[in-house]
Amino acid sequence: MDETQFVSPLSEIADAGSNPGDTYILVWFVINNCVMIPQEFAAGDTDASPIGFGLPGVGMTAFEAADDRSLLALLETAAERALQDAAVDATEIDSVHVGNMAAEAFNDRSGLANALTASLGADRASARRIENTSASGASAFRDAVDAVRSGGSTVAIAVGGEKMSAADTATATEIISRITHEREYQQGVTLPSFAGLAADRYLAEYGADRRDLARIAVKNHANATNNSYAQFRTPITVDDVLESSAVATPLRLYDCCPTSDGAAAIVVTADAASVTVEACESAVGVHAIADRRDPLHIESARAAGRAAYETARIEPEDVDVACIHDAFTILEWLELEELGFAERGTAWTLTRDGRTAIDGDLAVNPGGGLKARGHPLGATGIAQLVELVWQLRGDVPDERSTGSPEYGLAINVAGFGNNSVCTVVGANA
């Protein structure tokens, strides 16, 4: 165990480093004196290699504030579009993987995977639902990738969706808040309040100003104006953000993603395709915010990102386009830093300098992100991948094209960093 370093979120964490030269880092998260299953990932030389499975088809519904269709109908539409895009018949599917967070709470529904599989006519497919809060979509995709990797499936489809319009804003906020640690939930803490505290501290510590934070929302709304699947397609200004309703100081309404209805789907095969999945890695973080060493650190995103880079055998600078989980504007900065695109406390300079714009050094959220495309919880992680596949294939309008990207990265975050799934996709020349 001499080559293993233990990183604890408790008192000893200040003394725990993360030297990239170590053979392995073992992230050992301790919550309320309970030890979670350790997650090990390579930190130096690794035998991991790119996955290389094909992503021949993607599809999604438009994300809306309210869609008249049922949740099952949304899932069906997204799946059928992905299968059509892949030129795959439903009878060829070996496994169906459905990502959904809270159909029971929002829609009084369960058994989604079985219902979807039957409605598609995928008679010989296995079916299962994956719940991982707001990272349910990417987790379902990872499950589909694992099914193909194991040899159990030759063709798998991951479908994610959520129909949140059945609940009013207060009810939806309460449902979503159930993903927080039970101690914090009982105290009435919500995700917007966590985000507000993080934003307040970041602005105070690192020299960014409130207008810099607003520029994230402005950028993502501008990107969404050319995305026919986005919920918000109207540009906004910095002043619009600053003058919108207060939510959790310093965050305003336009700093926060909306509740949404929608679904997205992606086909995974063992065969080659124009876009391939190179890595899909997941990591957990400390559940209770109060137990974390620093509320501005999203350790799960850092761990998942590092593992994904090593599996794909790339570095952050190789990524051309990134879909970041910007449920709140502040998360775009925090995640960019955790993923190695900026040093700690400097991501705001990327925004101010326009380096995360569509024509910047790293195009971030070219489809509008959660902020403007919308955030139907179980759909988001797959919608990010749909956007990346479209970008790498060149299937987007010129106004939001990122050129000829070689690699795309998506980070889908559960809760406020409780779990993260990081995926790297590549253009297959």
pLDDT at 292: 77
Superfamily name with CATH number, domain 50-429: Thiolase/Chalcone synthase (3.40.47.10)
Q: Do 395 and 405 contact (CB within 8 A), yes or no?
A: no
Residues contacting residue 345 through CB under 8 Å, at least 6 positions apart: 202, 205, 206, 207, 337
pLDDT at 415: 87
Q: What is the pLDDT of residues 289-314, one digit of tens each?
A: 777 788 899 999 999 999 999 999 99
Write out the two tokens for 280: 């899909």
For residue 178, which amino acid is it? R
For residue 404, which amino acid is it? S
- Residue ranges covered by each domain of the chain: 1-47, 50-429
User: What pLDDT band is residue 47 in, cutting at 50, 70 and 90?
Assistant: low
pLDDT at 132: 96
Sign of the alpha-carbon torsion through 200, 202, 205, 206: negative
User: What pLDDT band is residue 269 in, cutting at 50, 70 and 90?
Assistant: very high
Least confident piece of the model among 45-59, 73-87, 115-129, 316-330: 45-59
DSSP letter assigned to residue 64: B
Q: Do 322 and 312 contact (CB within 8 A), yes or no?
A: no
Write out the two tokens for 5: 């370093």
pLDDT at 289: 73
pLDDT at 36: 32
| Average pLDDT for 318-323 | 99
**Whole-number Cα distances in Å, 118 to 93, 100, 108, 303, 419:** 12, 17, 19, 37, 31
Query: Which residues partner with 190 through β-bridges?
Result: none
Give the largest Cα separation in the chain, rounded: 59
Q: Do 358 and 400 contact (CB within 8 A), yes or no?
A: yes
Q: Which single residue is written with the structure tokens 């070689």? A: 406
User: What pLDDT band is residue 417 in, cutting at 50, 70 and 90?
Assistant: confident
H or E stretch covering 410 = strand 407-414
Confirm whether pTM is higher than 0.85: yes
Q: What is the pLDDT of residues 140-163, one digit of tens each?
A: 999 999 999 999 999 999 999 999
For residue 42, which amino acid is it? A
| Average pLDDT for 10-16 | 33
pLDDT at 45: 46
Q: What is the pLDDT of residues 72-93, one digit of tens each?
A: 999 999 999 999 999 999 999 9
Could you give the count of Cα atoms lying within 13 Å of 2 in the half-sphere of its Cβ? 0
Taking residue 5's Cβ as centre, other Cβ atoms within 10 Å add up to 18
CA distance 312 to 306: 10
pLDDT at 231: 98
Q: What is the pLDDT of residues 181-234, one digit of tens each?
A: 788 778 877 889 999 999 999 999 999 999 999 999 999 999 999 999 999 999
Helix 112-120, helix 71-86: angle, nearest 10: 50
44 pLDDT above the threshold of 70: no
CA distance 258 to 393: 28
CA distance 38 to 284: 9
